[in-house]
Amino acid sequence: APGAWDVSTGNKDVIVAVLDSGIDRNHPELSAQTLSGWNFYDNNNDITDLTGHGTAVAGVAAAMTNNSLGVAAVMWRSSILPVRVTDPQGYTSYSLLSQGLIYAADRGAKVATISFGIYAGHTLASSAKYFMQKGGLVFSAAGNAEQFVDQTDNPYIIAVSGTTSSDLHFGSYGPFVDVAAPSSAIYTTLKGGGYGNVGGTSFSCPLAAGLAALIFSANPSL
């Protein structure tokens, strides 16, 4: 990241869509760059984060950085598009994720981060293809099963597995996994305005997505 920041620290024109449980838009590290989004579970514009998961994911990808507060993200300057796709307990469906991807693509998002294990699902693959055809990339979490998962690769979704602080593997693995990123002791934004450590491929996913957003900001024509 420090080497990358010598080239670019981000661009507000690069939109990162966070398909999750919503976002705490009042968090000091997220408020300035959070756009108005949509809640596909309730079909309204209330993107309040009920579980805190989405706020933590958003902070990993694109929290405000170099501002003498809290945490640093890979992507310092980005616009965050909150897309709530979960019920109050934090569960989602392929249908809600598909709707969220199409919405994000149509809103100009360059990157989408989905911290759920996605394997098959023709509808979602079609939506991810649509997102890619609009010039963006979709990232998903590989899951935390810590075992081989015999699923084929989805050509339209970058599945992200995890690594530990000792650079050992963490999480599900198999032919569907494309890359891995750090997934342990990730310090990020928490619902309510605080900060804390989180772990799992739910957070390696937005780390990889944040890197993609940083690359897009360095070269928007990619």
Told to judge if 53 belongs to the known catalytic residues of this protein, a careful annotator would answer yes
Catalytic residue among 21, 24, 27, 53: 53
Question: Any idea what DSSP says for residue 85?
Answer: -
Question: Any idea what DSSP says for residue 33?
Answer: G
Told to judge if 127 belongs to the known catalytic residues of this protein, a careful annotator would answer no
DSSP states of 139-204 as a string? Answer: EEE--S--SB------TT-EEEEEE-TTS-EES-BSTT--EEEE-SSEEEEETTTEEEEE-SHHHH
Catalytic residue among 161, 202, 204, 217: 202
- Contact by Cβ (8 Å): 9, 65: yes
3-class DSSP state for residue 130?
helix
Output the CA–CA distances (angstroms, integers) from residue 183 to 85, 147, 151, in the order listed. 23, 16, 21
DSSP states of 87-106 as a string? Answer: -TTS---HHHHHHHHHHHHH
Question: Which residue's entry shows tokens 């616009």?
Answer: 79
Told to judge if 20 belongs to the known catalytic residues of this protein, a careful annotator would answer yes
Q: Which residues carry out catalysis?
A: 20, 53, 202
